[in-house]
Amino acid sequence: MAGLFEPFQLKGLTLKNRVMMSPMCQYSVWAKDGAPNDWHFVHYVSRAVGGAGLIMTEMTDVVPDGRITVHDLGIWDDAHIPAFGRVIDQVHGYGAKIGIQIAHAGRKAESPELRPEAPSAIAFSEKYRVPHALTGDEVKGVVEAFRQGARRAVEAGVDTVELHGAHGYLIHQFMSPISNQREDEYGEPTRFGVEVIQAVKSVLPSQMPLMMRLSATEFTDQGYTFDQLLEMAKVFHQHGVDMFDISSGGNAMAKIHSYPGFQTPYAAALKRAVNVPVLAVGRLESYDLAASLLEHDDVDMVAIGRGMLKDPYWVNSAALHFEGTVQVPFEYHRAFPQRFVKGEKS
């Protein structure tokens, strides 16, 4: 049996397999209030029915101005908790675990109603507005917003929380010389990230793991090197990150040559250098490729993004590919030969 279907344990989190639905922005909060709606309910619950071990909700922002667009999810108000809880409860009902990726878009806020803010007043590109440079007190306010967002996620019933420290969003912006030219204490590239980690850890149950997505490379000589990223990851791990989700890019306009598994060598190298569990992401929709990464112990889990947009039942499709066990609710049993069925009444 492929390693895809082996259970995975991380602190108090036990997953039935090693496949995570990758967080992918849906831009579908039409009420502009940040709360998940029926689209998000169907989108996430269907992937639980489809066999995912862990579902990571899309980038969910800790303050209103921290959104990319006004149609993004938010977790800046206690009023958001019941709507997230509705999704989380149903995901749990189909045997999957779920987390929320909490974040702040920083200088990549796009909607004109939003005020972009960043470490320094440097626009992402000529198509973006020059952001407001956060004052020291404002930075501390954002740290507190992350803490409160994590508290709300826990109250909604999540199994884990992921910090978005990649793709050119605020934590990443503080990490990079491209976007951080401060001369105060927050000019140190890990200072803001560490404060966010400490704040979030203060409200997580002791056995709940904290994950963090990082960009391994910025694809430009003006950014940090991979060796520098490894040192930053070591600091974040020392302060409480239990698992890293390794992506790349997003903080500079750079041409990226992507291909199936192109980010995996970075994840494998970070796993060895930091001695920490890692999750690989990036065009891994091939069942054989995803399985081989786990079988060779390059990574501990795989995140499937576009593959799950194409096929909400990607995990069960992979199980059929490997002639393994399909995990479906009883309503779907008739679609599979009996020897493939493993499911409880929903």
pLDDT one-digit tens code per residue, 42-70:
999 999 999 999 999 999 999 999 999 99
Provide the H-helix boundaries in the chain. 38-49, 81-93, 136-156, 170-175, 191-201, 226-238, 264-274, 287-295, 306-310, 314-321
Is pLDDT larger for residue 263 or for residue 345? 263
C-alpha distance from residue 284 to each of 145, 163, 164, 264 (Å): 33, 22, 20, 9
For residue 341, the model assigns a pLDDT of: 62
- Of 187-201, 307-321, 324-338, least confident by mean pLDDT is 324-338
Within a domain: 322: yes
Please provide residue 36's backbone torsions phi and psi, each rounded to the nearest 5 degrees.
-65, 145
For residue 311, the model assigns a pLDDT of: 97
Domains in the chain: how many in total?
Answer: 1
Residue type, 16: K
Give the distance from CA 289 to its chain's centroid: 21
Give the integer Cα–Cα distance in Å for 208 and 225.
31
Q: Structural domain of residue 20, as residue ranges?
A: 3-340
Token code pair at residue 285: 């929709």
Per-residue pLDDT averaged across 237-257, rounded? 94
Token code pair at residue 344: 């409880």
Within a domain: 240: yes
- Of 11-15, 68-72, 140-144, 320-324, least confident by mean pLDDT is 320-324
Within a domain: 346: no
Residue 164 pLDDT grade (very low, low, confident, very high; cuts 50, 70, 90): very high
For residue 338, the model assigns a pLDDT of: 62
Give the integer Cα–Cα distance in Å for 124 and 173.
10
Is pLDDT larger for residue 344 or for residue 318? 318
Within a domain: 345: no
First to last CA, the chain: 26
Q: Is the pTM of this model over 0.85?
A: yes
Within a domain: 59: yes
Within a domain: 269: yes
The tens digit of pLDDT for each residue in 88-144 reads 999 999 999 999 999 999 999 999 999 999 999 999 999 999 999 999 999 999 999
Give the integer Cα–Cα distance in Å for 149 and 145.
6
CATH number, domain containing residue 50: 3.20.20.70
Is pLDDT larger for residue 83 or for residue 345? 83
- Of 26-30, 201-205, 251-255, least confident by mean pLDDT is 251-255
Per-residue pLDDT averaged across 142-161, rounded? 98
